[in-house]
């Protein structure tokens, strides 16, 4: 399994847990699009959908990118 680099503070919402988009259990983790998702769930999804863009169903469009790493810091 490929491990995502999500060290940036943007991936952790200390104010609240929301249902994970993939497993529906509460999580403080957020994707780059602000989507609530466990890091391990995102890694698992990437592994199972190696070529697929990520489409969010429902009334919010979080874009079509796959879960990805933080950009390198200088
Ligand atoms: Zn999850």
Model pLDDT for residues 3-59, shown as the tens digit of each residue: 999 999 999 999 999 999 999 999 999 998 889 999 999 999 888 877 766 655 555
CA of 39 to the centre of ligand 1 (A): 7
**15 in a domain, yes or no?**
no
CA of 5 to the centre of ligand 1 (A): 17
CA of 40 to the centre of ligand 1 (A): 7
Q: Are strands 26-27 and 18-19 parallel, antiparallel or unpaired?
A: antiparallel
The number of folded domains in the chain is: 1
Q: Which residues constitute the domain of residue 29?
A: 1-8+20-52
Model confidence band, residue 62 (pLDDT cutoffs 50, 70, 90): very low
**24 in a domain, yes or no?**
yes
CA of 11 to the centre of ligand 1 (A): 14
**35 in a domain, yes or no?**
yes
Angle at 67 between CA 58 and CA 50, to 5 degrees: 100
**45 in a domain, yes or no?**
yes
């Amino acid at each position: 399994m490929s491990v995502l680099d999500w060290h940036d503070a943007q991936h952790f919402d200390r104010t609240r847990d929301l249902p994970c988009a993939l497993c529906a259990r509460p999580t403080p983790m957020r994707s780059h699009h602000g989507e609530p998702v466990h890091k391990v769930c995102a890694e698992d999804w990437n592994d199972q959908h190696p070529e697929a863009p990520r489409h969010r169903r429902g009334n919010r469009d979080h874009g079509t990118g796959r879960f990805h790493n933080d950009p390198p810091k200088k």
